[in-house]
Amino acid sequence: MVAGLLSALEIEERPAPVASAQAPLLSVEDLRVEFHTGRGVVRAVDGVSWNVYPGETMAIVGESGCGKSVSALAVMGLLAKPAGRVSGGRIMFGDRDLTQLSTSQMRELRGRDIAMVFQEPMTSLNPVLSIGTQLAEPLRIHLGMTAQEARARSIELLGLVGIADAARRLDQYPHQFSGGMRQRVMIAIALTCNPKLIIADEPTTALDVTIQAQVLELMKELSQKLGIALVIITHNLGIVARYADRLTVMYAGRVVEEGTAEQLFARPRHPYTLGLLRSVPRLDQPRAGSLDTIDGLPPNLLAPPTGCRFADRCFLRAAVCETDPPLFDLANGQRSACHRHAELERTVAARPAAPLPEVVARKDEAPLLSVRSLRKDFHVPIGQGRDGLVRAVDDVSFDIPRGTTLGVVGESGCGKTTVGRMILKLTPQTSGEVVFEGTDIASASDDAMRKLRLRMQVVFQDPFSSLNPRMSIGDTLNEPQLVYRKVRNRREADEHSAELLRRVGLVPEMASRYPHQLSGGQRQRVGIARALAMQPSFIVCDEPVSALDVSVQAQIMNLLTDLQNSLGMTFLFIAHDLAVVRHISQRIVVMYLGRVVETADCDDLYREPLHPYTQALLDAAPVPDPKIERQRAARVLKGEPPSPLNPPSGCTYHTRCPRATSECAAIVPPLREVRPGHFAACIKI
Amino acid sequence: MTTLSQTSFKPTRTRRRWRDNPVIDFAVSQPLGVAGFLVVLVMVVSAIFADVIAPYDPLAIDFEAMLAPPSLAHPFGTDTFGRDILTRIMYGARTALTIGFISSFIGCTIGAIVGLASAYFGGWRDMIVQRGIDLLLSFPIIVLALVVVAMVGRNKVGGVDLNLICAITVPIIPRAARVVRSAGLSIREMPYVDAARAAGYSSTRIVLRHMAPNVLGPYLILVTAYIAQAILLEASLSFLGLGVNEPTPAWGLMLSGNSANFYQTAPWMILFPGAAISLAVFGFNLVGDALRDWLDPRLKT
Amino acid sequence: MLRYVVKRVALMIPMLFTVALLTFFLLRVIPGDIVEVKMRADGGNVSQEVIERERVRLGLDKPLVVQFGDWMKGIVTFNFGTSMWTGQPISREIGIRLGLSIQVAVMAAIIAVLIAVPLGTISALFRDSWIDYLVRIVTIAGLAVPSFWLGMLIILGLLTLFNWSPPVTYTPFLTDPIANLSQLIWPALAVGYRYAAVVARMLRSSVLEALQEDYIRTARAKGVFERLVIVRHTLPNALLPAITVIGLEFAFLMGGLVVTEQVFNLNGIGRLFVEAVTRNDFTLIQTLVMMIAVMFAVVNLIVDLLYGVLDPRVTNK
């Protein structure tokens, strides 16, 4: 193929985009990977070429299904046999073609010269072997070390990755480590034999924001110190902006753009890259009324379209796009696989942001929802037949005026989901008060609660399990109408459901389909439609977009903001992504280990975060702009979140707070109004 | 926090029409299941049409042809009373299937109701049910069945071996309850059940409309698997003389008592009834296994 | 750890008590007087006097609660009362036969585990190969073939092929191991086949599942030899849940013994139980049921403790 030929020629002739004029460490040339499934052949990777140079950090960016993980697995020779196999192209590591190596030759290489770090730290370590055993394995197999030598080196490595008390922890088991620590162990394992290249496949996606920052900083530091090339596979553009030197953007099994971080973020030359950048809510820019989305869905790789695979969704589509675009060379090593990249440059002017609608909370009205001193205790078994107490939610209070959105932000274990569940009375509260539309739900009778439930609804996180797989979409939407007799018969219900489907951007024909026939984004829309079916005044959104791809996230976010504006809907928006929360909320509550640490209006919070934890959260969240990121000092929050079974005394944050003093361990800081309307729970402000 | 694929592999869009029919899909993807189904079919046909297709009367005694080895006249030989074994095996299918179907169906249904309700309500009610299940499960199936036999006696009620059916149904109930309960527990954690609760639906509706249909898969597998178990149990009980009584043709019965003395003189009396039992259980097990495999990947989509 | 053991044992006791209560009262709930039923079933008309005398002899005239108390007392002191059928003390009846049944059960378990574990593992490792299909067919057959019929086939085979039948009298192992084994190996095989089938199937799916786990991928990514990946990484994780199954199925061996002892004419607990049911010997039945429940609980306990010892997630917390 033309693209393949070009790439093959260029590697020798062109200077590397990175300052040093070295040969690439790893060179993937026109790689093709196929999976033979029962339903046909899926060409997961279809003519992909990218290079990694010694010591650099290269990011491969794309949404799920684009083939980025598959190409990494192909490099490592870890494709799931017998279904997956490399069907074409070369993978040059130094002067060896990895696709031509025998299994035992490849096995020698793995873990020694190229190492890999996977996404799920919770399941990537063998639960029945000690950490020491798992660390020692590559040392003994590849480097022939004795047990004592391996142990010494393992202790060294654990120290390198920031795990304290290494000698003792070596004999512990994975379940005794937290997620972030396990990922550090994985990094240590990758480093054992001093590899030249480490491939990290979504290494921090499963981790909290602050831990994510720790792990990535560590990786970057090690890469620079030890001269190891790093390939980070991710869908998070912020991470790319902060850590990557160069990046490769993939879509539907092909490379669509390649270049340095500065180049791609400042002057993207492919509509997909542009679309991705535009659809991500940004912390560094003023709030936009709506996000630019990429319409449509990625193609089915069982039967990929001919020509440019992005053409269906592209606003620059023209007749020429029906032919396969090669990877065009642009200035300074940037490459784009778009026929019309020149036109793109002209149209990329700053598009004026859609105006923010005015949302004014009517001050004279009582808030729609009022929460006071809400608390939830859980009793969890802690082994040996004993029970421990977890105070998941501790003294949480806030108000939500009608027609506004309150965002609740925090990392895992902070209690935000539990708060939502208590408001919906899905989980009984231990103490406190929840008043919805004037009624205290704790003391409400079952009958009264039923009536209340019509007015408050919920949208869940996981689109795959939030719809009953045995009910058609139409049945799911009809059910509340029929149960509550809002309609007279089935036909009327169907009509309303069709209306609902249109409202959320789906075609009414979907009513006869079943959830497994819909995509994640479509299912989430159905979930929203279901919530709307009862015409509620209040919707709890529990991480509604966390499980979706970036471009789909933007679509759903726009839908929610649209509902905000057109219906005057009140939302409680629970999420861990600060930029997403900022986009939709008027007021924000920040939680840590069950307590509220800061409450403020959205703009106030992001402009001037008062509480050290909020500051840490904002520091940890990278912004998709390399220029800004280069200038930010790396201020990484240290330490691990404490165990909820054993919370620190006084201010629960003091164990990690840079400003903490002995006072902080003694007093529980009250939530006080530091600025008008801006509350923070810290004695150091 | 994994990002989920939106659409890249949407199976139903590319699956050809004729395969959309679940029956055909099952047939194509589960050849072993089809084999099992055919075996079961032969049994069922034999049971229903025994009167028509059996060569002899199962009760007809013919002392002249006592203990005759397999021949053209008697393909499976005859027993001590000169009764044709092939005929008795065909009629035996009737006994086995009737008792098997009824016991399994009643046992699994009661067990499923108990298990599902227990899973939904949780709390102390669930704990009691769980203890009860554990209690009953601490006995092997046949021991429990024998205890029931001891309790209810061995008399026919209204011409049907109601007591035998009872004895076989009782051990099935806790086993089915356990499986359905654990399926129900995992369904109960699902967001769509939470959504139903948040919508204020009654418990009945949630259990019947939201939980039960999703338990259908395991339930069907259970019923199939326990038909096999029930047939085996009936055979064992009859073999021990505590199940069906003479002269009713039943496979287990054909193996007991007299037959045991004729190892060397009339081995066909042992071979054929036992093979019939094995084949029947084999067939149902194959179908059950295939059902389980077939339902599994679909759920993963 | 000790705390855990004590707690588990303590939990067992109320359970067993409930079993005792249940069995006792269930057998009293039977319509009609049990003595009458039994004596009538034995045939013939018996006068009321005879029945009364029998009842006194068996202690059945006392109030139910007292009877239960007596029985419970007896159980703890290993005095199980008298059998309604033979008139002998139950403990004697059981004592002779328990040893035999347990030996067959243990032999069956050993044979089964020795065969099933490697077969199940190999079947999983060479998935969809001819070995796999063979093992799957053999194991499905193992679940389908009634153990008593298998016993009959074994005897038939031995007679026809070797013109030899197993000895009918029981010699304890220590007296004459050869004679003992030559009698008991066959029922052990008959019962063990089914046991092996269950364990092999379970192990196969357990290994297959373990192979899909993320940590296997990590091990391969480290460049670990494939053989090590299987032996050190996959098997320990796959065998752990298998232990539970092996333990549970052992307890259920009793079920197989009940019918198989009949076929081999063995004088074991299983046969005793069947005879007790046949002859409506309720006192014997209730004691045997109690015994089975106790055995089951003990086996469960051992399995749990073993699991606790072997699984680092339980030991290190």
Domains of chain A: 22-54+61-113+233-347 (3.40.50.300), 369-437+537-680 (3.40.50.300)
A129 or C90: whose pLDDT is higher?
A: A129
Flag if A470 and B9 touch (Cβ within 8 Å). Answer: no
User: Phi and psi for C216 in degrees, rounded to 5?
Assistant: -70, -40
Mean pLDDT of A47-74: 90
Flag if B278 and C152 touch (Cβ within 8 Å). Answer: no
Q: How confident is the model at residue B252 (pLDDT cuts 50, 70, 90)?
A: confident
Q: C 2-41 residues with CB below 8 A of A?
A: 3-4, 7
A278-289 tens-digit pLDDT: 888 888 877 777
The predicted pLDDT at position A8 comes to 40
SS3 A87: strand
The CA–CA distances, whole Å, from A145 to A115, A138, A410, C56 equal: 18, 9, 44, 81
Mean pLDDT of C99-119: 89
A340-363 tens-digit pLDDT: 888 777 666 555 556 666 665 556
CB atoms closer than 10 angstroms to residue A226 = 14
A654-671 tens-digit pLDDT: 998 988 888 888 888 998
CB atoms closer than 10 angstroms to residue A31 = 26
C238-270 tens-digit pLDDT: 988 888 888 888 877 878 888 888 888 888 888
Whether C44 has its CB under 8 Å from any CB of chain A: the answer is no
CB C90 within 8 A of CB C282: no
SS3 C135: helix
DSSP type of residue B211: I
Produce one character per residue of A505-532: b if its CB has 16 or more CB atoms within 10 Å, e if not.
bbebebbebbbbbbbbbbbbbbbbbbbb
The single-letter code of the amino acid at A506 is: L
Chain B residues closer than 8 Å to C140 by CB: 282, 285-286, 289
Residue B3 pLDDT greater than 50, yes or no:
no
User: Which chains border C (3 or more CB–CB pairs < 8 Å)?
Assistant: A, B
Q: C 212-251 residues with CB below 8 A of B?
A: 251
**Nearest residue, CB atoms, C224 vs list A78, A130, A141:** A141
| Cβ within 8 Å of residue A546, ≥6 positions away | A461, A575, A576, A577, B1
Flag if B140 and C292 touch (Cβ within 8 Å). Answer: yes
From the number of C-beta atoms within 10 Å of its C-beta (0-12, 13-18, 19+), residue C194 rates as buried
Flag if B236 and C152 touch (Cβ within 8 Å). Answer: no
The predicted pLDDT at position B55 comes to 79
Token readout for A684 is 């150091």
C7-50 tens-digit pLDDT: 778 878 888 888 877 777 776 666 555 566 666 666 666 677 77
Alpha-helical runs (H) found in A484-519: 490-503
Nearest to C258 by CA among C247, C279, C278, C273: C273
The predicted pLDDT at position B13 comes to 42
Nearest to B256 by CA among A34, C18, C151, A97: C151
Size of interface A-C (CB pairs under 8 A): 89
Residue B110 pLDDT greater than 90, yes or no:
yes
SS3 B248: coil
Give how far C23 is from chain A: nearest CA, Å.
Answer: 30
Beta bridge partners of B289: none
Mean pLDDT of A431-457: 89
Domains of chain C: residue spans and CATH: 2-76 (no CATH), 99-315 (1.10.3720.10)
CB A458 within 8 A of CB B198: yes
A130-162 tens-digit pLDDT: 999 999 999 999 999 999 999 999 999 999 898
B94 or A9: whose pLDDT is higher?
A: B94
The predicted pLDDT at position B1 comes to 32
Beta bridge partners of A436: A369, A439
A681 or C78: whose pLDDT is higher?
A: A681
The predicted pLDDT at position C15 comes to 80
Nearest to B213 by CA among B229, B198, B193: B193
| Cβ within 8 Å of residue A209, ≥6 positions away | A411, A576, A578, A617, A620, A621
**Nearest residue, CB atoms, B192 vs list A235, A456, A468:** A468
Token readout for A550 is 């970036």
Beta bridge partners of A588: A407, A600
> Which residue on chain B is closest to A62 by alpha carbon?
B3
Residue B169 pLDDT greater than 90, yes or no:
yes
Return the half-sphere exposure (C-beta side, CA atoms, 13 A cut-off) of residue A106: 19
Nearest to C188 by CA among C239, C260, C133, C124: C260
From the number of C-beta atoms within 10 Å of its C-beta (0-12, 13-18, 19+), residue C177 rates as exposed
Q: How confident is the model at residue B275 (pLDDT cuts 50, 70, 90)?
A: very high
Token readout for B70 is 């397999």
Token readout for A70 is 């598959």
| Cβ within 8 Å of residue B234, ≥6 positions away | B95, B96, B99, B100, B103, B164, B168, B243, B244, B250, B252
CB A58 within 8 A of CB A229: yes
Residue A524 pLDDT greater than 90, yes or no:
yes
The predicted pLDDT at position B15 comes to 44
Return the half-sphere exposure (C-beta side, CA atoms, 13 A cut-off) of residue A679: 19
DSSP type of residue A256: E
A554 or C12: whose pLDDT is higher?
A: A554
Flag if B4 and A39 touch (Cβ within 8 Å). Answer: no
Token pair 């092939």 in the structure block, residue? B86
Residue A487 pLDDT greater than 70, yes or no:
yes
Q: How confident is the model at residue A543 (pLDDT cuts 50, 70, 90)?
A: very high
Average pLDDT, whole number, for chain A?
86
Flag if A126 and C313 touch (Cβ within 8 Å). Answer: no
Residue B134 pLDDT greater than 90, yes or no:
no
A604-637 tens-digit pLDDT: 998 899 999 999 998 888 888 888 888 887 778 8
The predicted pLDDT at position A498 comes to 93
Percent of chain A at pLDDT exceeding 90: 38
Flag if C15 and B134 touch (Cβ within 8 Å). Answer: yes
Token pair 């030989």 in the structure block, residue? B77
This prediction has a pTM of: 0.84
User: Phi and psi for A114 in degrees, rounded to 5?
Assistant: -125, 130
Flag if C146 and B135 touch (Cβ within 8 Å). Answer: no
The CA–CA distances, whole Å, from A643 to A76, A123, A617, B267 equal: 37, 20, 19, 70
CB B106 within 8 A of CB B173: no
> Which residue on chain A is closest to B215 by alpha carbon?
A470
Lowest mean pLDDT among A362-376, A389-403, C13-27: C13-27
Q: How confident is the model at residue B300 (pLDDT cuts 50, 70, 90)?
A: very low
C149-208 tens-digit pLDDT: 998 888 888 888 887 777 777 777 777 778 788 888 888 999 999 899 989 988 998 998
Residue B2 pLDDT greater than 50, yes or no:
no
Flag if A176 and C233 touch (Cβ within 8 Å). Answer: no
The predicted pLDDT at position C31 comes to 52
Flag if A76 and C221 touch (Cβ within 8 Å). Answer: yes
Task: Give Cα B43 distance to the centre of its chain.
Answer: 13
The CA–CA distances, whole Å, from A229 to A184, A255, B42 equal: 17, 20, 66
A163 or B77: whose pLDDT is higher?
A: A163
Give how far A566 is from chain B: nearest CA, Å.
Answer: 23
From the number of C-beta atoms within 10 Å of its C-beta (0-12, 13-18, 19+), residue A487 rates as middle
Percent of chain B at pLDDT exceeding 90: 25
**What is the helix, strand, coil percentage profile of chain C, to 5?**
80, 0, 20
Flag if C274 and B146 touch (Cβ within 8 Å). Answer: yes
Chain B residues closer than 8 Å to A235 by CB: 3
Residue A128 pLDDT greater than 70, yes or no:
yes
C25 or C101: whose pLDDT is higher?
A: C101
Mean pLDDT of C94-100: 81
The predicted pLDDT at position C180 comes to 80
Mean pLDDT of A44-68: 90
Chain B residues closer than 8 Å to A426 by CB: 194, 197-198
Mean pLDDT of A177-204: 92
Return the half-sphere exposure (C-beta side, CA atoms, 13 A cut-off) of residue C11: 15
Mean pLDDT of A223-239: 91
CB A613 within 8 A of CB A590: yes
The predicted pLDDT at position C36 comes to 62
User: Phi and psi for C32 in degrees, rounded to 5?
Assistant: 90, 160
Residue C103 pLDDT greater than 80, yes or no:
yes
* B interface test, pick of C34, C152, C153 with most B CB neighbours within 10 Å: C152
| Binding-site residues on chain B for chain C (CB distance < 8 A) | 131, 134-135, 138-143, 146-147, 149-153, 228, 232, 235-236, 239-242, 252, 255, 260, 263-264, 267, 270-271, 274, 277-279, 281-282, 285-286, 289
Sign of the CA dihedral with A543 first, then A544, A550, and A554 last: negative
CB A96 within 8 A of CB A27: no
d(CA A71, CA A222): 24
Flag if C317 and A108 touch (Cβ within 8 Å). Answer: no
The predicted pLDDT at position A299 comes to 83
C69 or A629: whose pLDDT is higher?
A: A629
CB C287 within 8 A of CB C228: no
Flag if C220 and A128 touch (Cβ within 8 Å). Answer: no
Mean pLDDT of C306-317: 77
DSSP type of residue C129: S
CB A474 within 8 A of CB A490: no
The predicted pLDDT at position A598 comes to 94
